[in-house]
């Protein structure tokens, strides 16, 4: 009975490879942020960016995944700027947060790429609020996000790109 509760079928060890790659990418991003001398807030922001780059990008092709990963900072950094800039204005910050949530949900209409970008924008705004990010911290937070997305991309497309060996998805 307990074996059935804690064991799940994983043909081809797909889930294990996915999780292992994510752990490796997040650990690399955190290590690089620490070696770069980022504060705890910068390291947490970077690790979250790596986590999102590895978990939310679900395009069916490796090329599509690369494009989506490259677009993550394009949506994340402006949202991070807005969250930090509105830190001292709670009403405007909350209204902007609701607008980001709405835009993220609306972006889902563009498939996996829109979903990934919407989740990244939402979580970037959320982590900036959670860590009480201010405009003085923005250069470090920008560097952490960019460094971590690059680390996640290096793991996903360089060190451990198992999608290249998978058969193409079957069209419905």
Q: According to the model, what pLDDT value does residue 169 have?
A: 60
**Closest to 79 measured CA to CA, from 135, 124, 133:** 124
Task: Please state, rounded to an integer, the average pLDDT across all residues of the chain.
Answer: 90
User: What is the percent of the chain where pLDDT is above 90?
Assistant: 76
Number of Cβ within 10 Å of residue 110's Cβ equals 12
The pair of three-digit structure tokens given for residue 98, joined into one six-digit string? 């609701």
Asked if 40 contacts 127 with a C-beta cutoff of 8 angstroms, the reply is no
Closest among 120, 110, 118, 128 to 152, alpha carbons compared: 120
Give the pLDDT confidence score for residue 20 in this predicted structure.
87
Q: Coil, strand or helix: which one is 134?
A: coil
pLDDT of 74 > 70? The answer is yes
Residue with the larger pLDDT of the pair 71 and 1 = 71
Q: With cut-offs at 50, 70 and 90, classify the pLDDT of residue 1.
A: low
The whole-number average pLDDT for the span 69-88 is 96
In the predicted structure, residue 32 carries a pLDDT above the cut 70: yes
Name the percent of the chain lying above pLDDT 70. Answer: 89
Q: How far apart are CA 109 and CA 102, in angstroms?
A: 12
Q: Which long-range contacts (CB under 8 A, 24 or more apart) does 127-134 make?
A: 127/44, 127/45, 127/48, 128/45, 128/79, 128/80, 128/83, 128/84, 128/87, 129/83, 129/93, 129/97, 131/41, 131/44, 131/45, 132/87, 133/41, 133/45, 133/80, 133/83, 133/84, 133/87, 134/84, 134/87
What are the tens digits of pLDDT across the range 33-51? Answer: 999 999 999 999 999 999 9
């Amino acid at each position: 009975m307990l074996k059935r509760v804690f064991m799940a079928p994983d043909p081809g060890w797909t889930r294990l490879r996915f999780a292992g790659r994510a752990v490796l990418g997040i650990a690399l991003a955190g290590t690089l942020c620490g070696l770069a001398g980022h504060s705890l807030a910068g390291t947490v922001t970077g690790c979250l960016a790596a986590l999102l780059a590895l978990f939310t990008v679900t395009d069916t092709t490796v090329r599509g995944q690369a494009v989506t990963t490259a677009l993550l900072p394009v949506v994340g950094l402006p949202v991070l700027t807005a969250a930090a800039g509105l830190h001292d204005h709670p009403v405007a910050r909350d209204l902007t947060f609701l607008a980001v949530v709405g835009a993220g949900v609306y972006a889902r209409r563009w498939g996996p790429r829109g979903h990934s970008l919407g989740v990244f924008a939402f979580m970037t705004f959320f982590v900036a609020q959670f860590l009480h990010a201010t405009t003085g911290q923005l250069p470090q937070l920008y560097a952490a996000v960019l460094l971590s997305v690059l680390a996640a991309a290096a793991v996903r497309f360089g060190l451990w790109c198992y999608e290249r060996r998978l058969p193409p998805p079957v069209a419905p």
